[in-house]
Structure 1
């Protein structure tokens, strides 16, 4: 499997490359945004996961992440790297469609473990797909990985789709952010704001057709009480 590591720091690229190659992965390196975009669009190079530096020369990691999500491979797993540790910066990365967000300085081994976890999750379905899941005007077709509201497709990322399917399959049950991170992302570690941002994005994309409730002090649930949408803040 091929992993793109795009970072303007050659030391970071070298260290990450060594750790990923130890895991049997092929690594494609890019020192700036244009080179990364070339690697992603090169028909002769299949990239299975992209690790992108937020602060590299334009287009930066966030811009490339958005381009991937609106391009021909929107389900490609993405991990963002940044030297910025503020919560607003992490949320910006997640809102751009990233699957994970790692703040520099980081442990190369932890990044390798996160990479392996994201790859495993992207390659398997935790449960057999059902023909359709529905609630009111919302319909989710698992085989084709499509979500529709009143018959109109909703543009979801792969992780948003997985989260929606999981909540619909387990409606009326409350899950903490830690549980959702483990069951949907397949991670036993990670930034819990990842879950928060994905919940907000799902609510925004589904509009009035979402029934994701916040249960304060416990987590999130789809349709805890039929007919009561509950508090909609994350």
Structure 2
């Protein structure tokens, strides 16, 4: 399944070109041409990465970057695009939390390489963290424990591995086939709908209200996504 990217750039022609080019590299790009629509889309979707142009008609890209580093978009990697020649702007952007920057004009191949490097770095960093924390939820890989508010929640070994696989890719939509590839189990586990059963049991263990999950979300026809963060105190 293509990785979802959000492109916030007012250059419609460039955006259309990047949508097509990055689709060939396995990315699904959604475009916003104003800062306002970009923030709305960023808050609504589950993005692997945001590509942000600093020069927008209705907003300053640096202010937008600062806003994206709060709330449920705080952990989404940001790649800045800038036509500004002043290195100070790029430094400020990085200090505000952008993961990388690329000056305009640029070669599409370099953009693709930088996207790949950011996503690979994020996956590598997550793999070295012994305890994954998402608000009140802790996933302790060394102890193989799941804790909510410090209380251990009982799950099977397979379900623990499944949750780790999703948490390491928080914010990304994962199909059942992808999840089964990530968590190699007994042949019995290889039935398509068995993933749904395990997800249901994980929700019973970690959700405040399993009938209205806020941690493991379902995207109909696509798969599941582990939420990066939520705004309210009683969710991730």
TM-score, structure 1 normalization: 0.52
Structure 1 residue 127 displacement after superposition: 5.7
1:76-100 per-residue CA deviation (whole Å, 9 max, x = no partner) reads 1001111112211211211221000
Where do 1:171-210 residues align within 5 Å? none
Regions of 4+ moved over 6 Å = none
| 1:16 corresponds to | 18
- For residues 19 and 80 of structure 2, the distance between their equivalents in structure 1, rounded to whole angstroms, comes to 15
Does residue 143 (structure 1) correspond to residue 132 (structure 2)? The answer is yes
Structure 1 residue 61 displacement after superposition: 2.2
8 A contact 2:65–2:96 mirrored in 1? yes
1:8-62 per-residue CA deviation (whole Å, 9 max, x = no partner) reads 11122122222211111111001110110111122xx322210011011233322
Assess, with a 3 A threshold, how the Cα gap between structure 1 residues 145 and 85 changes in structure 2: closer, same or farther. Answer: farther
Does residue 3 (structure 1) correspond to residue 5 (structure 2)? The answer is yes
| 1:38 corresponds to | 40
- For residues 93 and 119 of structure 1, the distance between their equivalents in structure 2, rounded to whole angstroms, comes to 19
8 A contact 1:15–1:108 mirrored in 2? no
Where do 1:121-132 residues align within 5 Å? 121-125=121-125, 128-130=128-130
8 A contact 2:39–2:68 mirrored in 1? no
- For residues 126 and 50 of structure 1, the distance between their equivalents in structure 2, rounded to whole angstroms, comes to 19
SS in 1 for 2:133: coil
8 A contact 1:19–1:109 mirrored in 2? no
Structure 1 residue 145 displacement after superposition: 8.2
Cα RMSD after superposing both structures: 2.0
Which structure has more RCO (C-alpha within 8 Å, separation ≥ 6)?
2
1:174-225 per-residue CA deviation (whole Å, 9 max, x = no partner) reads xxxxxxxxxxxxxxxxxxxxxxxxxxxxxxxxxxxxxxxxxxxxxxxxxxxx
| Structure 2 residue runs without a partner (length 5+) | 136-236
- For residues 80 and 20 of structure 2, the distance between their equivalents in structure 1, rounded to whole angstroms, comes to 18
Aligned length: 133
- For residues 3 and 127 of structure 1, the distance between their equivalents in structure 2, rounded to whole angstroms, comes to 22
- For residues 47 and 132 of structure 2, the distance between their equivalents in structure 1, rounded to whole angstroms, comes to 23
- For residues 126 and 97 of structure 2, the distance between their equivalents in structure 1, rounded to whole angstroms, comes to 21
| 1:48 corresponds to | 48
- For residues 113 and 36 of structure 1, the distance between their equivalents in structure 2, rounded to whole angstroms, comes to 23
- For residues 83 and 62 of structure 2, the distance between their equivalents in structure 1, rounded to whole angstroms, comes to 13
SS in 2 for 1:124: helix
